[in-house]
Amino acid sequence: MSGFQSPRGLRDLLEPLASAHGWAVDRAWAAADAAGYARIELPFAEESALFERAVGGTSDIVSKELFRLEPRGDDAVALALRPEATAGMVRAYLQHGMRSQPQPVRLATVAHLFRYDRPQKGRYRQFTQFDVEAIGDSGPGSDLEVIALGAAYLRDLGLTDVEVHLNSVGCATCRPAFVALLQAHFASIAPQLSEVDRSRLAANPLRLLDSKEPVAVAHAATAPRITDHLCAACASHHAAITKGLATIGVTVVAAPSIVRGLDYYTRTAWEYLLPGEQGQQGALGGGGRYDGLVELLGGTATPAIGFAIGIDRVVLALEERGLLPEHAKGPAIVVAGIEPESIALRIATALELRAAGVSARADISSRKIGKQLEGAVRDGARAVIIVEPDGRLTLRDLTEASQGEPAERGAVIAAARRLVQGKG
């Protein structure tokens, strides 16, 4: 055994999780395609400044979790591995002049992301997210479309009882007054708060609502709700989304503790959770409206909304519920041979079968034919084609334990196709 191990927080995906992961990714792309979201592939690294501006330089993601790349040679631009996809999506929207296209511009990606975070269940330093963004529309219709798309994707995978935990974080008109109320609510227990939460109280009181510290959690339970302090426009927007999701058939749970701490987030914020789960650790994904981000990154004021769903967490939830799809099976046909000289013909036969739509593997060993048959059974093969010394082929049906007579190549390959494809 090698002395090398996969780095902490990074992992190998083996069967059946590898197939389940690939299946969930394929279904994500299919869901986006079906809804008319254009595919986009983003680079693994961006300028560090992009994330510092978009995510916030004082956020944990940037200050503690960013994988920074050291500039080399003439490249003086500081780069970082992407910790999330939205910033790159907005950068691409601006760079490629998508403002001139019909709005909203609908974009989707499945991206490998990287955060130097403490590894734990469902949380890795390399992870994969299904990310959807609708940029250029401020109406509640975009909110409904995006939220419903994520919920439908999860239900389609088998997580049929997924819930949307929904909140509104207001806007620049109504949020400042609510923040002042929240600050006053927590001020009386400021000495009891942790050092981190005391800094949040001073700089960003909204973040106290999603604190994990027991003192803050207990006091948050009696905190004022932002949905009770929305301006008329935000209240109308939130009501339209709540009513619309009910019409669509999406289960909605009011979640006043779901917040987005940065100023460019407005109105809608939500998470996808399964019954009994709560908090970021239990969320399969989430999203929000970020009407101020495009302008923050150098564009003109442009409304936008999107979600990210963690593929790793989705697969974990499927595994815990016994809902993993059947992983990739072995070949339908194994091509075996008696003579070592027949190896090239075995491979050629397997290639011809695969070209005809039949999964096939050539046994290229020099083992006795009995051992090759045992290997085919172990692989779950439906049949074996044996290359005889005279070049003819023999078809052996492993399910029926029957074997035909040696015949010409074309006839045996056709018979194997019919056997596997159920055509008699």
With 0-12 / 13-18 / 19 or more C-beta atoms within 10 angstroms meaning exposed / middle / buried, residue 20 is buried
- pLDDT mean over 102-113: 97
3-state secondary structure of 250: coil
- pLDDT mean over 303-311: 97
The answer to whether 316 and 121 have CB atoms below 8 angstroms apart is yes
- pLDDT mean over 31-37: 97
Helices (H), 249-292: 279-282
Lowest mean pLDDT among 68-82, 88-102, 106-120: 68-82
Q: Which domains does the chain possess?
A: 17-174+230-320 (3.30.930.10), 333-419 (3.40.50.800)
C-alpha to C-alpha distance for 202 and 406, rounded to whole angstroms: 84
pLDDT at 76 over 90: no
CA–CA distances in Å: residue 398 to residues 332, 362, 373, 384: 10, 16, 9, 7
pLDDT at 421 over 90: no
pLDDT at 125 over 80: yes
pLDDT at 423 over 70: no
**So what's the pLDDT on residue 217?**
86
Tokens of 188: 């009386």
Cis-peptide, bond into residue 191, ω within 30° of zero? no
Instruction: Kindly report, residue by residue over 239-293, the tens digit of the pLDDT.
Output: 999 999 999 999 999 998 888 767 788 999 999 999 877 655 678 999 999 999 9
The answer to whether 237 and 114 have CB atoms below 8 angstroms apart is no
Report the mean per-residue pLDDT for the chain. Answer: 90
316 DSSP 8-state letter: H
Tokens of 307: 């979600």
Instruction: Kindly report, residue by residue over 133-177, the tens digit of the pLDDT.
Output: 999 999 999 999 999 999 999 999 999 999 999 999 999 899 889
Does the reported pTM lie above 0.85? yes
Q: Specify which of 88-102, 331-345, 377-391 reaches the highest per-range mean pLDDT.
A: 88-102
Helices (H), 264-310: 279-282, 293-296
pLDDT at 297 over 70: yes
The answer to whether 161 and 131 have CB atoms below 8 angstroms apart is no
- pLDDT mean over 331-336: 93
| Angle formed at CA 31 by CA 301 and CA 277, multiple of 5 degrees | 85
Instruction: Kindly report, residue by residue over 206-249, the tens digit of the pLDDT.
Output: 888 878 888 888 888 888 898 999 999 999 999 999 999 999 99
pLDDT at 63 over 90: no
Instruction: Kindly report, residue by residue over 171-196, the tens digit of the pLDDT.
Output: 989 988 988 888 888 888 888 888 88
- pLDDT mean over 349-365: 93
Instruction: Kindly report, residue by residue over 378-393, the tens digit of the pLDDT.
Output: 988 999 999 999 889 9
- pLDDT mean over 107-123: 87
**So what's the pLDDT on residue 261?**
67
pLDDT at 345 over 90: yes
- pLDDT mean over 404-420: 89
Identify the band that residue 61 occupies on the pLDDT scale cut at 50, 70 and 90. Answer: low
pLDDT at 116 over 70: yes
Identify the band that residue 3 occupies on the pLDDT scale cut at 50, 70 and 90. Answer: confident
